[in-house]
Structure 1
């Protein structure tokens, strides 16, 4: 039975690989799998070794105990291949392909040289400056030479847009050709990976394309040159021709299968956001492969990774000396010198209209020139076309809503361009209020590209109605349904209303006739804005807490634990005053308990626990308030009262968990938002066990949770799921199961989830740091132990949560004593 998504050319190798996999699984298991009952123990062995679950029915089919009527999923094959000792299923298949001496490298060299020359010509043509005015980057050549001398398989150049990654790669290819003429360099735009047939590996596809029909080289054959595949623009590829899943699989499998084709090595360019998504995906699929990369750290703490530095002053001088007009670097102000070390702004300055350097030195004038350049320059034709197509489509679809006529088209095009400068002067965007680091300007401008049309609509309504009102917002929602982006229009209205301090009108914003997913997103958006606007938060938060819709979509959904001991405490207090239901009283008092517990105000904790116990309890309550109640009881007894016994028996906790109604869950509705994680009760019990250092109970509870909620396997892109997996890794470590603990730790994607769902970051990031402390004590952490402790202490100071400093110091106290 062939696995899914394999071509006929691979059918023989795939069938042979499946037979080999069955044998290897039995060898790893230590016994033949002859009967269906054997699969129960095998399933447990697979879970313990890989941290993944393969169902009994699937194992029976894979092992040939029952007929297989359909192919097996790639996930199943990869898990079992990893269990059996292969790098991946693809590596297992590669071993079954016929291998002869490499006769095709000469043909490949010729084909690769031609393809590279074509790509170089395109990159030179698309370069923002004339290519001869650009320079090779010194650090890039050093990085390349170190990579070439290493045993690593792949490397990447990661930086935001405008850092000149494509030009960097073009110069690097030219230099590498001279330094190592026997190497085969194959430079291709990443979008061309769309030509790889489904199920085929990158190595075999390249060999077929370039080796002139020669057979695939045998592993270990001497005299094979290095073939470097240089892929430019991974982030651009998925926007044009290649599905993200397909691209990620091709690249990760190529690294995993390196022992089968050691001649192939990879070099890539991409942006940090896309790279982080790739790291997260690859960490789940191949948790140990980070050792095979060069120059890229899989530890993402401290912000987005980037290994492409800004231009050095000597590099700026070198470029300026190549320009036809005389521009003196030394004559510029220090601010201007710092600004044009960003390659994109140096390019803009070089292309700016003639005039005194001082006139171009104004940041605002330069930014306006940049915006104009982005629209009118033919070098951004694709972007310009996309913008205009969006505008034309919206005009045609919304003539009645906007009362637009085709005759208005030219005027609107001009307004569309002019709206960029309006964005600058309105002062309503978070990016603009803190626009200081000029590396962030691209993000700010792309935000305008994506929602500029909605911005214009919002301004038009505000101008016609003379300011924001709730009735205006309702009219906008009703009139812009066909636009498809009505929530973006509402967000702009909210920003204008905050600017105008229309707090009374804004307090009822969640009464708008929006879908539930839109209301959830609006609550998150408004919450993030109020975090940075203290005056508005102090005025608006209590008003939102007094409104039923504000209670649901702001207080209860946007749980702003970052400010738990500041503005959010006042919000909770107002919420308790206005929502008297037992469930709301339980939630609010538990939140106040948590704030004072983390503040180490144990006297206040005792008052809160008394209030919590007075609230009538029902198993019909939402799982999160019920979980917070048990958490409060457990940690109060352990930390405040100093009683080491668990307040509830495991049996009673499990019985209560079975009776709690399942939370509404939807992967489409911000899976990390407060109401939409299905196992809220279970999470808070696990959190309490983690803080109490009851690791045996934590493991038992984790297994119980997965048995009760198997759908959590589908919630990998979820903060709560990742934290539960981090808790499990720590528990495995402290119960003596070190190999399993290390495998579980390496597979975590917690940091990436915290970055993606930033409204949880300030509170839950502590558990990422504490996991680093636990594994740092045994020398396995990504982050140095001292750095993790320092970050915890700084977080505790910033958020008034000293409990975490005390807790972390207690964890390392035995280690310090040993020293």
Structure 2
């Protein structure tokens, strides 16, 4: 280590630039600004108890001119910091042209560490997806070059990919020990100055591959015969690109995939929303023999892993067991369907009143979780005013779900341009979904709510505004006459919950409604339990 750092202190500027790039990757940011140097300096001291001044870091990152080489003490402190904080051990081969595999390992390790730190629940509570492993093994061992994981945000695509990466490439008993993995985030291709990189440019830059070699042949030739390189690109959901940046990346991926041909030495996995994959696959039509290039997905459908990302009964039960929730088998079918989406199960695990909440029936749990989702992911987010306006607009255009559950995208075009940032976050957070519906053989894109329960929440909010100042029985009669099935029961539950919270007891009168005996019993039990839960959580009760 000492010998390595002594060599670094005498490196020419091109090598210093490589070190800067490695530091940016380790810190998991696209660009480091002068303002970041102070916080990095403090963190280095907190971790290593060694001082590397803000000015020195500015010199390293090129924000200040320097005519002197960096001291061995400074480079040792930085090396120790990366080893302790990120688990990265700098080695001499990192800064040489033939160190591609070592660079891949560092970039992948950094990405995996970032995923663990950003996980919404403790990472050890997440699980391997056994069905996904079977599909991955078939793809990796088969002739196809590309695989798409097309699912909505919140279905656990990134966590699943991290488990696959660790299971097959990062453990001592890994099945593909001679193969290599490069795990990238799509956000890395777009710089803070709004410039974008193609896939080939990014690979050459981060792996230090010169322009004198053909990239695809070079990558296929650096692993032993029979082994492969897998490139995973995740994070398309989080990338809010403007202009032609996304098109540039899509086309560069297509060009790179096409140049691979039928070689089996390099494979790719992409993770994105279903409609994004449908658009991407349409652009791939010009690639020869696309059917053999793409695994598990048609050229338009964009469906590969969707069925595997919904938690089944066994997986949901196992995550609840790890989170010390031992009553999963007592949950209703409706609540289990809600929790089958991993991001919703995360809300239950992190709920501040979880222990109290789990003492009640599934109807209470479901209502409180839906309210928590709205509070955290909409009211507690950026652009929440614009988001609420946009969601209300969808409810209005569907006439409170009486004319359908989705809205043609053309009808929302003005709102999408007006509230672009809010709309993109609603998509990336999994609140809304873009769908492609074929009408008369022609595709038409539409927008709707991802979860029907969130749709019902905003329908009910619209009904409260509509019947504000009118007798509570009018709202109940309207719900009873307009809706049926689970939607009617959900709205009547919400009406009862609203009455208890606001002490407007007229909302609790359902005797005049033409409900089935089972529905009346369900509502009566829901009201009784809601009174108890309100007393436990808010110290309040009906007078």
Instruction: Give the TM-score normalised by the residue count of structure 1.
Output: 0.34
Higher RCO (Cα < 8 Å, 6 or more apart): 2
* Structure showing the higher strand proportion among its residues: 2
* Structure showing the higher helix proportion among its residues: 1
**Greater gyration radius:** 1
